[in-house]
Structure 1
Amino acid sequence: MRNLLIIGAGGFGREVYNSALESIGYGKDFIVKGFLDDRLDALDTFSNYPPVIDRIDSYSIKPDDVFVCALGTVTIKKKVCESILSRGGDFLTLIHKDTYISMNTKIGKGCILLSGARIHCDVSIGDFVVVQPYAIIGHDVVIGDWSHINALADCGGGSRIGECVTLHTSSFVLPSGIVEDNSTVGAGSVVLRRVKEGSTVFGVPAKIVLTPKKQ
């Protein structure tokens, strides 16, 4: 039995905690030990949650510990997870029992798949990817490491989602569309073909509203 620590005790962290209690392996492979958060008082106004045990960087990792990261900003998530990994930490993939996963799907380590997510056939999901409730991942989709697919987002069949991508709530990537690394698709937006690396797009159809900074 391993002890699960949830990194981040904000709103998403509380959501992940509730999902963990209904996830595959809970009570058999792992139990929830508590949270890590730099705000030690993050849960002071809430009840029925396990404690914030320590700050993220100062926590001493124990042999039976295992982690999931409930930080919604992909760049911060990557930095924090890489720090935990460098200190010998291990991450599990958390899959809610109500997640639909079809045949030939590959899912990496450290992922979080929440209630109602729909993962169709022949999909490849990288490491540390979050798929929130009722998001739809169509057939043959590839999602790169660290990306965050928010609730009700839809990745059409054959689409390619790069690393460190955020698809916000109810956004759509049409079949065979491409969202390159480090890009953001705004809520309710529709990607017809391609989002260039580092861009932020919004609207129907999605258009660039913020371009990457030149080095």
Structure 2
Amino acid sequence: MKHIAIYGSGGFGREVAWLAESCPALRIECFIDDDPLLDGKIVNDIPVMSFEAFCRHTRDNAGKPAIVSAIGAPMVRQQVMEKVRRAGFAFETLIHPRTEMSRWVEIGEGTVICAGCILTTNIRLGEHVQINLDCTIGHDVVMADYATLAPGVHVSGFVHLGKRVYVGTGAVFLNGTRDNPLIVGDDAVIGAGACVTRDVPPNETWGGVPARELRRSK
């Protein structure tokens, strides 16, 4: 039985806890949450600790639970997971049993794949990627570290999503080619329901059908 802690006790944190409870080899030690009002509370029968309290707790007990992030915002997730790494904790990768995928899928540590997802072949996922409910990912897709899919996203073959890309619910990506993959740059945001038909530059927010630029981040 492997003990884990889930960083974040909000809506997605509770969904990740449900995912973890579907994996018989895992036991949830606690939620970790940076909201001081939640320290010491109970959420869905699971205790909540601040990160400082969690560190004290692990010093007083044998072994350190691995940590999985349930923080939806990619940049915040990266900042928090870097703090966790500096504190000496390992990360857990969670894959719901009701996930279908081939053996030709590379999965980085800390990644979360929720129920109902299908991943085909020759796919590479970076660290701390989040793939929410009922997503499909086609052949030769690359998702860099901290890339995030909200529920019901469909990614066709030869699509590359950069670091910290966030894709809203129900968005779809047309396929690229081996020589000319469809590329979404680092820190881009794709709005819910968008249909992405061409490359998206870094730091831009796109939406609509077909997707077009809505906003550029500084």
Q: Normalising to structure 2: TM-score of the pair? A: 0.90
- Distance apart, 1:113 and its partner CA: 0.5
Q: Does 1:31 align with 2:18?
A: no
- 1:84 aligns to what SS in structure 2? helix
The letter for the 2-side match of 1:13 is: G
Aligned to 2:124: 124
The letter for the 2-side match of 1:38 is: D
Contact 2:9 2:43 in 1 (8 A): no
- Equivalenced residue count is 208
- Please give the alpha-carbon distance, in whole angstroms, between the structure 2 residues aligned to 1:124 and 1:47: 34
Aligned to 1:159: 159
- Please give the alpha-carbon distance, in whole angstroms, between the structure 2 residues aligned to 1:42 and 1:15: 18
- Distance apart, 1:64 and its partner CA: 2.9
- Distance apart, 1:55 and its partner CA: 1.3
- 2:46 aligns to what SS in structure 1? coil
Aligned to 1:199: 204
Stretches of structure 1 lacking an aligned partner (at least 5 in a row):
none
- 1:194 aligns to what SS in structure 2? coil
Stretches of structure 2 lacking an aligned partner (at least 5 in a row):
177-181
Q: Normalising to structure 1: TM-score of the pair? A: 0.91
Task: Give the ranges of 4+ consecutive aligned residues of structure 1 lying more than 4 Å apart after TM superposition.
Answer: 40-47
- Distance apart, 1:38 and its partner CA: 1.8
Contact 1:10 1:42 in 2 (8 A): no
The letter for the 1-side match of 2:51 is: I
- Please give the alpha-carbon distance, in whole angstroms, between the structure 2 residues aligned to 1:47 and 1:71: 16
- Please give the alpha-carbon distance, in whole angstroms, between the structure 1 residues aligned to 2:116 and 2:99: 5
Between structures 1 and 2, the one with greater helix share: 2
- Deviations 1:48-90 (Å, cap 9, x if unpaired)? 43110x2135531733311000000000000000000011010
Aligned to 2:179: none
- Deviations 1:115-153 (Å, cap 9, x if unpaired)? 001111111111100001111111110110001111110
- 1:109 aligns to what SS in structure 2? coil
- Percent identical: 30
Question: For residues 1-215 of structure 1, what are the structure 2 equivalents within 5 Å?
Answer: 1-23=1-23, 26=24, 28=25, 30-42=26-38, 48-52=44-48, 54-60=49-55, 62=58, 63-176=63-176, 177-213=182-218
The letter for the 1-side match of 2:184 is: V
The letter for the 1-side match of 2:195 is: V
- 1:33 aligns to what SS in structure 2? strand
CA distance 1:42–1:100, change in 2 (3 Å): farther
